[in-house]
């Protein structure tokens, strides 16, 4: 089980003042009981194919009131990883080629994305737009990326946040219940260049894979209680 330590409490104890917004914090981790889908599309001239897996895990931490109130995004944190050997393209031989020839999953079994939430904007009732800023590591090569995701509250609580212009902090009104949402659905789509991550493409054979893959992520986050609460 992931071990999540409350930063606010830690900050309060150490007097470091990590959160200028109080001792509240929201933390979420991937809900393994709900549908998860990570897919890529290779749109090569001779052959399109899609690889799919549900093996994504990770967490998001929001300082302060997070989605339902003021939050200091500079203190936010997230980490996600995808089990690359579980990707299924529909053809076993192609899966093996992908694992052994391109992703080299024996050496680099996971792709990960870690960093902080750079921007959090309300898009309306129960919908947010979040820009995740950090390092996307695939094939052992980390690349700085800013990836825009759409977040929808599925569980209780949660209303659109309001962005303070010129600031990366948000001040969102509390929900009618005054409680943070329990379940969030996260959807992202972004391109990944294989050459950016040092993934070789065979030159001698047909160009069977696209140099740029379109990645799509769709998964749920579930609020978790801080230790000691």
Binding region for another protein (CB under 8 A): 1-7, 10-11, 14, 16, 18, 25, 27, 32, 47, 49, 55, 57-59, 61, 75, 77, 79, 81, 83-86, 89-101, 105, 109-110, 202, 204-206, 208-209
- In the bound state with another protein, the residue whose beta carbon lies nearer, of 61 and 219, is 61
* Rg of the chain taking only CA atoms, in angstroms: 19
**Minimal distance in Å, beta carbon 4 to another protein?**
6
**Minimal distance in Å, beta carbon 133 to another protein?**
16
- In the bound state with another protein, the residue whose beta carbon lies nearer, of 130 and 160, is 130
For 219, counting Cβ atoms within 10 Å of its Cβ (0-12 exposed, 13-18 middle, 19+ buried), the class is buried
Q: For residue 137, how many other CB atoms are within 10 A of its CB?
A: 18
**Minimal distance in Å, beta carbon 25 to another protein?**
8
Residue indicated by tokens 């998001």: 60
- In the bound state with another protein, the residue whose beta carbon lies nearer, of 87 and 192, is 87
- In the bound state with another protein, the residue whose beta carbon lies nearer, of 17 and 166, is 17
Cα 164 from Cα 124, distance rounded (Å) = 16
Q: In terms of DSSP H, where are the helices of 7-159? A: 7-14, 92-97
**Minimal distance in Å, beta carbon 191 to another protein?**
21
Cα 229 from Cα 106, distance rounded (Å) = 40
């Amino acid at each position: 089980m992931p071990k999540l330590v409350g930063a606010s409490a830690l900050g309060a104890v150490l007097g470091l003042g990590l959160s200028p917004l109080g001792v509240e914090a929201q933390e979420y981790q991937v809900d393994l009981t709900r549908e998860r889908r990570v897919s890529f599309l290779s749109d090569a001239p001779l052959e399109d194919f899609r690889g799919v897996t549900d093996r994504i895990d990770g967490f998001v931490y929001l300082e302060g009131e997070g989605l339902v109130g003021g939050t200091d995004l500079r203190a936010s944190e997230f980490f996600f990883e995808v089990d690359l050997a579980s990707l299924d393209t529909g053809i076993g031989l192609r899966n093996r080629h992908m694992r052994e020839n391109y992703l080299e999953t024996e050496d680099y079994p996971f792709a990960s994305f870690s960093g902080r939430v750079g921007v959090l904007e309300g898009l309306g009732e129960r919908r947010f737009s979040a820009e995740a800023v950090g390092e996307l590591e695939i094939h052992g090569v980390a690349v700085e990326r800013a990836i825009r995701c759409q977040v929808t509250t599925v569980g209780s609580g949660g209303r659109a946040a309001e962005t303070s212009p010129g600031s990366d902090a948000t001040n969102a009104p509390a929900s009618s219940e005054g409680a943070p949402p329990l379940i969030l659905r996260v959807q992202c789509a972004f391109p990944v260049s294989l050459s950016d991550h040092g993934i070789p493409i065979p030159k001698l054979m047909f160009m069977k894979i696209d140099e740029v893959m379109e990645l799509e992520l769709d998964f749920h986050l579930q609020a978790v209680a801080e230790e000691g609460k």
